[in-house]
Amino acid sequence: MLIDSIIMAVHPSVLLLIALGTVFGAIIGALPGFSSVMAISLLLPVVYPMDPLLGLLVLGSIYMGAMYGDANAAILLNIPGTASALPTTFDGFPMAQQGRAREAMLAALAGSVFGGAVGVLVLMMTFGVLAEFSLRFGPQEYFWLTVLGLTTIAALSEGNLVKGLAGGGLGIAISMIGLDPYWGMPRFTFDAPPLVAGIHLIPALLGLFCVAQVLSSLESPAGDRRPPEVGRQKDALRKVLGTMVRRWDVMVRSSAIGVLIGMLPGAGGPIASTISYNETRRWDRDSRSFGTGRVEGVFASETANNAMVGGSLIPMMALGIPGNVNAAVILGALLSFGMRPGMSLISDGTGIATAFMIGLLISSLLLAPLAYFIIIRLSILVLRVPRTYLAPTILIFASVGAYSVTNSSYGVAIMAALGIGGYALRRIGIHAAPVGLGLILGPIAEREFTSSLLIAQAQGSYWTLVMRPISLVLVALCLLSIMTPLLLSMRDRMRKRRLAPDSEKQQ
Amino acid sequence: MSRLIKTIGVAAALIGASVVQAAAEFPEQQITMIVPFGAGGGSDRVARTIDRFWQEETGQSFNFQYQPGASGAVGTDAIARAEPDGYTVGIVNLPNMIVQPVSGSASFALDDFDYIGRVNSDPMVLMVPDGSPFNTLEEFIAAAKEMPNTLTIAITGTFGAGQLAALQMMDAADIEATLVPTQGGANTAARIAGGHVSAGIIGLGLFTNQETGRALAVSSAERSDFAPDVPTFDEQGVTMDMALARVIVAPDGLPEEALTYLRDTLQEVTESQGFIEASREQSLGAVWQDGDALEDAVMSGQEQAARLLRQYGLIE
Amino acid sequence: MTARPLEMALLAAIALLCIILMVEAWQIRPPSQVFPLAVLGITLALTLLAMLRASASSPGGRLFEPGRARVVFVAAAGLMAYALAMSIHYVVASFVFLFLGYLFLLERRSPGSILVAALVAAAATGFTWLTFDVWLGVNLPR
């Protein structure tokens, strides 16, 4: 039976389609303002009349490719191609600035391949069992999960915890503009009609990361000449593979986190990559250096967000409950081909579902050659362009991307406002990353908190917010996350005082 | 002489052009379909299904435009404000569209639209997790009466079909329970399946497409083919008819020709075998309702919805 | 301008925003009141703390190297102008923005480089229009 599915999956026409889908997905993922969901939906009309296996694999490979592609813009331009690549910017962009762009991109690729493959393998092997576990996550667990993600802010802002947390709070505050999640009424909109729609995420991220970055780059004259050779980094591949093997713990942990969080309906890519980044940093010997260009940071983020692909399909295929919107669209296609979620998928005798999963595995593995020979080459070219031409062009791309989300200049307005505002904030020490995290995780945190509160009130006890097995574990992790940087910086301060009691206070 | 020929030539050309103009029918260019939600969501998929069979009927496809925001209010408003030349239509959810003007979170009104028709109608079910102590609607209602506001009911979003259905049920059965809004239908189903709430109200389509839990009642007038074992609310003594419907609308003031064309074509698409089957696969009932009947239903629906919402203090 | 006045001004603006939003949040009916008030309150406290720290520290250096402030401000203003113009006619606005942008940033202008700027601007505009409007169907304003 399995053999039949494998034979189906390696048929040349299937392989070709997987390759095309993966590349297409990678390109779409790299374009800020575009998500894999948009790409998948564009292709739905094309997919319907197709053979079920081909149709599902087109969608699946685009999904997989996009979760890799979003890393390239993150590394080269400090713009996360999709929100899931946000943590990739934390170390990826510094690496690029140090001339190690090739290493970063290869790490992103290696991580994506590894994570993607692991995610699909877990999907194939555990199918029913894990799906049941994912249902045990209720609003309380989701809330603590987002809090855990937000504590990453503390980790990133070790230099200045106060400003970092304030930035995060500001991000959450901005995300609250729009409709109230419970009453459905407009709030914080100051009677301005466009604001009722809220501050759309992608234009906001484009502003915070892309526009602010461009403005920042204009502070120093660099201009017309081509930037110095990026450093051929001939040994980049060897270095990356070596790190991957040496740090197998990072790879395994990130994959596990990616799959686990992918399984939780509604949790999504950004949470997976953020928590993976945080945990990798936590368990590292030299955690202070994260954010300055640690390749492990890139591994953590990218491995997790590709492992999430397989993870999100677990509850979708086993229970009919998709892990995120991408999985939901694929579920729609699955249903339209006459297939039903559940154990019947693998026992219905057609072997299509199994072939689909094998095809996804192939997609993640194909990323390696496809990206290496095509995409990374193309991306490096971007670095060679003199800043004079690069800066305005990036702004145009970002503007179009922002426009496309809202189909009106509202998106561009958001981008410009957050871009200029974000730049100003950067000058006073509040960086884009904490604000971005607040923007992404804030709405989820609020919704889940409100639901948890309602349930607690109905059951008459506020203990339910915390006194649940999974929640307790998560709360403990949160406390650890905040305490560690605090304790470390206090220890540093004491050390400094002991060594040089006459030196003036720092900061 | 040559001038005369020239004049006749020009006149002939002009007459010819105007004849051709008159003969050119609606639609002469691509029609835009505004989707007030994100790409890939439930509304998008229904719209894509319509597009697929519209293409088979007419050879034309729609130009999709996504305008997400404010639970659909932004996109719906965009439809209302578009040029009423017949080249812009939109897909809207009922009852969301009915409620939004009343709640003050939208700037359109129901008479800003010309109603093309309804393409499907999805009744709501009361779903409980597998391990639930409730086996019938009666048991659920009894428990709710014993412990007012203690039972929790998950619903999808605010001012949507789930919320109105829940309010209608609580009103008709005279019970009080805590409503827990959740983002996205799939997440609502997950929440119910995981036992984090006592029960939940979701669309029949969503319920039958996933594998967990039981349904205690369905809000359609008769038992549904998709779930023949589920008794209706009506037969268990609770009057409830709220359903989630998807309708196609256009801005108010369309030229007669365009309106007729759109209505007729949409009806053909909705009643076509292919569309009915495609809808079946997603467990949606393809139930056509023509524009005029739809408009009446919408107007009277608004009164009922407003009354319910006011009663429960959700709007002023 | 030096760093510290800017820092104080911006932090004060954030604090003010928090206060205004908190006032509005107070009017919201529970349960939706809790989360906003908590978040805004914490942010306000943090902002005030940051202001305290900033006022105690050194005035900070110059914000901009000589002549660069102009570049940044023009870029920001240009972006705002483009945002408006783009919704009227994408192709024209983009070409103009790119062309003028390149010229502005070019450190040495010669007839050759002006020509290059025009060509690149045209190419970039064409490429984005093709990719987004034609291929991806985004409907850029025309």
The whole-number pLDDT of residue A507 equals 45
**Range 181-210 of B in CB contact (< 8 A) with A:** 181-184, 186-187, 189-191, 193-197, 209-210
Residue A482 in 3-state DSSP?
helix
Quick check: A409 and C53 CB within 8 A? no
Looking at the DSSP bridge assignments, the partners of residue B113 are B251
Phi and psi at B217, nearest 5°, equal: -165, 155
The secondary structure of residue A193, as a DSSP letter, is G
**Range 36-75 of C in CB contact (< 8 A) with A:** 36, 39-40, 42-43, 46-47, 49-50, 53, 57, 63-65, 67-68, 71-72, 75
Instruction: Provide Rg for chain A, Cα atoms.
Output: 23
Residue A267 in 3-state DSSP?
coil
Which of B30, B44, B45 best tests the A interface by mutation, with the highest count of A CBs <10 A?
B45
pLDDT, one tens digit per residue, over B11-50 is 555 554 444 444 457 788 889 999 998 766 778 888 888 9
pLDDT, one tens digit per residue, over A337-367 is 878 888 778 777 778 888 999 999 999 999 8
Chain A's closest residue to C53, CA to CA, is A507
Phi and psi at A68, nearest 5°, equal: -90, -45
Distance CA B168, CA B97 (A): 17
Chain C touched by A424 (CB under 8 Å): yes
CA distance to partner chain C, nearest, from residue A499 (Å): 22
Q: State the average pLDDT over residues B236-243.
A: 86
| Residue C131 pLDDT greater than 60, yes or no | yes
Q: How far is CA A492 from CA A486, A506, C58, in A?
A: 10, 11, 22
Q: State the average pLDDT over residues A382-386.
A: 76
Quick check: B64 and C139 CB within 8 A? no
The whole-number pLDDT of residue A224 equals 53
Quick check: A451 and B181 CB within 8 A? yes
Q: State the average pLDDT over residues A68-88.
A: 87
Average pLDDT taken over every residue of chain A: 85
| Residue B98 pLDDT greater than 80, yes or no | yes
pTM: 0.83
The whole-number pLDDT of residue B4 equals 61
Chain A touched by B52 (CB under 8 Å): yes
Residue corresponding to tokens 């349904």: B215
The whole-number pLDDT of residue B18 equals 47
| Residue C139 pLDDT greater than 70, yes or no | no
Distance CA A352, CA A347 (A): 10
Distance CA B149, CA A139 (A): 19
A45 CB burial (10 A radius; 0-12, 13-18, 19+): middle
Residue A430, number of CB atoms within 10 A of its CB: 29
Peptide bond into B95 cis (omega under 30): yes
The whole-number pLDDT of residue B100 equals 85
The whole-number pLDDT of residue B20 equals 46
Higher pLDDT, A35 or A506: A35
The whole-number pLDDT of residue C59 equals 75
Chain A touched by C130 (CB under 8 Å): no
- Show the tokens assigned to A439: 């923007």
Chain C's closest residue to B32, CA to CA, is C139
Distance CA A350, CA A341 (A): 14
Cα dihedral across residues B286, B291, B293, B296: positive or negative: positive
The whole-number pLDDT of residue B316 equals 65
Chain C residues near residue A42 by CB distance under 8 angstroms? 136-137
pLDDT, one tens digit per residue, over C35-94 is 999 999 999 999 999 999 888 877 777 777 777 888 899 999 999 999 988 888 888 899
Residue A320 in 3-state DSSP?
coil
Higher pLDDT, A450 or C32: A450
Residue corresponding to tokens 């855990």: A148
| Residue B140 pLDDT greater than 90, yes or no | yes
Instruction: For residue B40, give the nearest of A40, A200, A460 by CB distance.
Output: A40
Chain C contact partners (≥3 CB pairs within 8 A): A, B
CA distance to partner chain B, nearest, from residue C122 (Å): 27
| Residue A207 pLDDT greater than 80, yes or no | yes
Any idea which of A249-263, B3-17, B221-235, C28-42 has the lowest mean pLDDT? B3-17
CA distance to partner chain C, nearest, from residue A225 (Å): 9
Quick check: B196 and A139 CB within 8 A? yes
pLDDT, one tens digit per residue, over A244-274 is 899 999 999 999 999 999 988 877 788 899 9
Q: State the average pLDDT over residues B84-113.
A: 87
At a CB cut-off of 8 Å and minimum separation 6, what does A398 contact? Answer: A32, A33, A79, A206, A207, A210, A211, A415
Q: State the average pLDDT over residues B200-206.
A: 88
pLDDT, one tens digit per residue, over C107-118 is 777 888 888 889
Chain B residues near residue A44 by CB distance under 8 angstroms? 45, 48
Higher pLDDT, B44 or B4: B44
The whole-number pLDDT of residue A419 equals 94
Q: State the average pLDDT over residues A157-170.
A: 85
The whole-number pLDDT of residue A422 equals 93
Q: State the average pLDDT over residues B186-194.
A: 87
CA A233 to chain CA mean position, Å: 27
Chain B's closest residue to A342, CA to CA, is B211
| Residue A303 pLDDT greater than 50, yes or no | yes
The secondary structure of residue A226, as a DSSP letter, is P
Quick check: A447 and B183 CB within 8 A? yes
Looking at the DSSP bridge assignments, the partners of residue B35 are B66
Taking alpha carbons only, the member of B156, B122, B155 closest to residue B46 is B122
Contact A142, A446 (CB under 8 A): no
Chain C touched by B312 (CB under 8 Å): no
CA distance to partner chain C, nearest, from residue A431 (Å): 13
Chain C touched by B267 (CB under 8 Å): no
pLDDT, one tens digit per residue, over B243-258 is 888 999 999 999 999 9
pLDDT class for A47, splitting at 50, 70, 90?
confident
Chain B's closest residue to C138, CA to CA, is B65
Chain B touched by A347 (CB under 8 Å): no
Chain A contact partners (≥3 CB pairs within 8 A): B, C
The HSE-up count of residue B221 (CA atoms within 13 Å, CB side) is 1
Task: Using DSSP bridges, classify how beta strands B243-251 and B88-94 pair: parallel, antiparallel or unpaired.
Answer: antiparallel
C78 CB burial (10 A radius; 0-12, 13-18, 19+): middle
Any idea which of A330-334, A469-473, B114-118 has the lowest mean pLDDT? A330-334
The whole-number pLDDT of residue B248 equals 93
CA distance to partner chain C, nearest, from residue B248 (Å): 21
The whole-number pLDDT of residue B23 equals 45
Which of B127, B167, B212, B314 best tests the A interface by mutation, with the highest count of A CBs <10 A?
B212
Q: State the average pLDDT over residues A383-389.
A: 78
Q: What single letter denotes the amino acid at residue B112? A: D
Instruction: For residue B39, give the nearest of A38, A136, A321 by CB distance.
Output: A38
Average pLDDT taken over every residue of chain B: 85
Looking at the DSSP bridge assignments, the partners of residue A186 are A179
Here the contacts of A399-402 (C-beta below 8 Å, separation 24 or greater) are A399/C79, A399/C82, A399/C83, A399/C86, A400/A33, A400/C90, A400/C128, A400/C132, A400/C138, A400/C140, A401/A31, A401/A32, A401/A33, A401/A34, A401/A202, A401/A203, A401/A206, A402/A33, A402/A202, A402/A203, A402/A206, A402/A207
| Residue A222 pLDDT greater than 70, yes or no | no
Residue B115 in 3-state DSSP?
strand
Quick check: B190 and A407 CB within 8 A? no
Q: State the average pLDDT over residues B283-304.
A: 85
The whole-number pLDDT of residue B21 equals 47
Distance CA A108, CA A297 (A): 10
* Percent of chain A at pLDDT exceeding 90: 27
Chain C touched by B61 (CB under 8 Å): no
**Range 168-187 of A in CB contact (< 8 A) with C:** 169-170, 172-173, 176, 180-183, 187
CA distance to partner chain B, nearest, from residue A44 (Å): 8
The whole-number pLDDT of residue A156 equals 74
CA distance to partner chain A, nearest, from residue C44 (Å): 8
DSSP A389-454: HHHHHHHHHHHHHHHHHHTSHHHHHHHHHHHHHHHHHHHTT--HHHHHHHHHHHHHHHHHHHHHHH
Chain A touched by C103 (CB under 8 Å): no
Distance CA A239, CA A79 (A): 25
Chain B residues near residue A45 by CB distance under 8 angstroms? 48, 51-52, 55, 61
CA distance to partner chain C, nearest, from residue B131 (Å): 29
Residue B94 in 3-state DSSP?
strand
Residue corresponding to tokens 């002991």: A498
